[in-house]
A and B are shown apart, each in its own frame.
Chain A
Amino acid sequence: MIHKSLAAMALVAAAPLASAQSVSMCVFDVIGANGDFYNFVKDYALEMKGHGVDFELKPYTDEGVAIGDFNAGQCDAVAATDIRIRPFNKFTGSISAVGALPTYDNLKTLLATLAQPKAAPLMKDNGYEVLGIIPVGAGYLFVNDRSIDTAGELAGKRMATLDYQKDAIHMVNFVKATVVPSDITNFAGKFNNGSVDTAYAPAFAYEALELYKGIGENGGVVDYPLAQLTLQMVARDDVLDDETAQKAREVAWNMFPQAMGLIEGQEAAIPEEKWVRIPEKDIRGYQEMFRENRIEMRDGLNGAPDVYHPKMMGLLSKIRCASNPSAAECTAGNRE
């Protein structure tokens, strides 16, 4: 008598031997799994495996989709830039406040401060917890004409602006430039084909997105960090216990030198003659301009969006004044 085999679909795969807790993470990198920052998160994940967490990474080249999938519960955690992190933690999402961290030394102080166990309560908000912060480089202003080297010169100029970045839109309006709504995938094309006069981006974009084309013979990169961009890992609060979450933040902080090495390489790829240096006295003026705008965007004054967390503004001000105590803002009546 002939009959069918009962052994249908015999699976020979053995389950992994390790018993680490599995956490899926949607990871944004403009160039996906072969991007520098995705690879960086891979190192972070490997380090975390030693602490009992098995991150399963999924690459996303569209940051909005990564956040959408995280919101839809398709991943337990997400790695995205702090502008997108604001809804999950307004405090750490305010690190990129305009002009708030003028040097990488200031950024280092901030990230070391936030990695302390004492900072843990600030890492939790709204049912989410920050599991680490990695710098991705300062945002600089790219201009097609080197004479645009003062805020006043920006009036009337067209600026590619991320359409979801409320603070940037406010600043562009403040300097009386024209907002040209853009996203990460098309701002470079707009700058390079001349449909905007200026754009802002980390140094990474100079080579990878060929921003030197938009700069041409006459333009340059203004050597003043408009904002410090960071990649932040965020998970739903119940995904990791408090101790492991703190460990995760320390692991990310320990990778700071590695991230800075990457950023320094990207900034070094911009030729010296393309940097537009601005005089010290102008810088002081900009610092005050940015400070006033930050206060407006902290308090939602004069039609500004209230996107910045007051505690983060206070901490950033403390860091700036510790490194430059003679700055006017440190004795100002309306200190942040």
Chain B
Amino acid sequence: MISSLAKLGPHVFAARLKVLSLAAVAILAGCSANPIYTTTGVVLSNYSEGEATPYVLQMSDAQMACALGEGVDPLLYSFSRVTDAPDTTGSLLMLLAGNCAEYEAWEAELAYLRADYEGDVEAAKDAREVAKRLNALTAKRRYASFQRAMAAYEFDPGAEPLECPFLFTEQDEITFLLGLLTGMQAIVNDANSGAMAGVPRNIAPQAERAATCLDNEKWGGMPNAIRALVWLLLPDTRPALAPDPWQVLEHSRELAVEKGMRVPHALQAVAAETFGRPEKLEEAIASFAEADATIEVWDEYRLVDEVAAGVVRFSSDKHWTANYGYRTPQSFFGRMSPERQTENVETMNLDDLL
């Protein structure tokens, strides 16, 4: 019996190998895709999530990060043609690409304010049109980022009752949280574009509900700051016993400085502009600048603090440009006017030298 099996052995083995190889190719290739592409997609996707994302999140150069988003997103996300869409990394890359568009929109907005200040109506109109177009581009990218973040965790933001997604790692949590934040920003950008991007406005109440899925203390007050902003926008969404939204923002700012990631400051600045509260804008900018001296930025998420810094600086620049015609001088960041603090400074009598 053993000898007969030995005789059959080589033929059976070869046939099985052939069948197995075909099966492996079929599995890897799906129906039509090149198996190498699929494998590359899986490898790249896993590498991005496991290595590149943590690396990028601790970068301090927000400009380089945005360039990465614009450059790499189309390549990485193109693998959704041959394997599962890489939505987690895809949402972050699109978020960064959105930041790139927004940086240009900010410059156009400041150019508009400068021209408006100088009374040059034609230049102001031109710059405002550029800002609108760039805001539309930013809104489209951010809406895509929001959708990918929701898809990544199979989360239906409109579902009632709310079903929180399974977030296995800290990186999953921050990806989801940034997705919500990006959705909110998309609405603001769309409004500033003249509604050119058509971002659905119900993202705001959806983000308010979804933010309850995250630990507020752990994430430095960011989830509650998102909720407070929505409560201000849509008072109906505020639970009956919830504290005043501005108080929530203040508490969130404190938590943010403790944790080292100052997103709530940026959210308060946006809220203050939206609701015409100059004293709250001043508070957000001043407390951000003040924290610069003492804060220990959360190392793993340094980029998030940097991006928040950009938002706060832009709010300050808008105020300065609208009121004085130029952006915030470096040494005045944290203050709202060019009032010099030179009073009560001791000087010497020069009489005996003259």
A residues contacting B by CB (< 8 A) are: 1-5, 7-14, 16-20, 31-36, 39-40, 42-43, 46-47, 49-50, 58-61, 185-186, 188-189, 204, 207-210, 213, 258, 261-262, 265, 269
Contact = CB atoms under 8 A, between A and B. Distances in A.
A136 to B, nearest CB: 13
Nearest to A18: B119
Nearest to B194: A39
28 contacts: A1-B349, A2-B346, A4-B344, A5-B345, A5-B347, A8-B343, A9-B342, A10-B340, A10-B342, A11-B339, A13-B324, A13-B337, A13-B338, A14-B324, A16-B118, A17-B117, A17-B119, A31-B233, A32-B274, A33-B275, A34-B187, A34-B191, A34-B274, A47-B125, A61-B232, A186-B236, A265-B198, A269-B200
B235 interface: yes
B200 A207 contact: yes
Contacts of A210: 202, 205
Contact of A7 (B188, B236, B273, B343): B343
Q: Which 3 A-B pairs have the closest CB atoms?
A: A18-B119, A208-B201, A8-B343
A60 B276 CA distance: 7
Nearest to B278: A58
Nearest to B273: A33
Contacts of A35: 191
Contacts of B117: 16-18
**Interface-central residue, B198, B232, B234, by most chain A CB under 10 Å:** B234
A61 B118 contact: no
A61 B275 contact: yes
A46 to B, nearest CB: 6
Contacts of B195: 36, 261-262, 265
A49 B337 contact: no
B280 to A, nearest CB: 12
B310 interface: no
Given A8-B344, A36-B194, 18 more contacts: A4-B346, A4-B347, A7-B342, A7-B343, A8-B342, A13-B323, A17-B119, A18-B118, A20-B119, A32-B275, A34-B273, A36-B191, A49-B121, A61-B274, A61-B275, A208-B202, A208-B234, A210-B202
B203 to A, nearest CB: 9
Interface string B77-98: 0000000000000000000000
Contacts of B351: 1
A16 B234 contact: no
A206 to B, nearest CB: 9
B165 interface: no
Contacts of A18: 117-119
Interface in B115-154: 116-119, 121, 124-125, 128
Given A17-B118, A34-B191, A209 B340 contact: no
A12 B340 CA distance: 8
Interface string B194-223: 110010111011000000000000000000
Contacts of B340: 9-10, 12
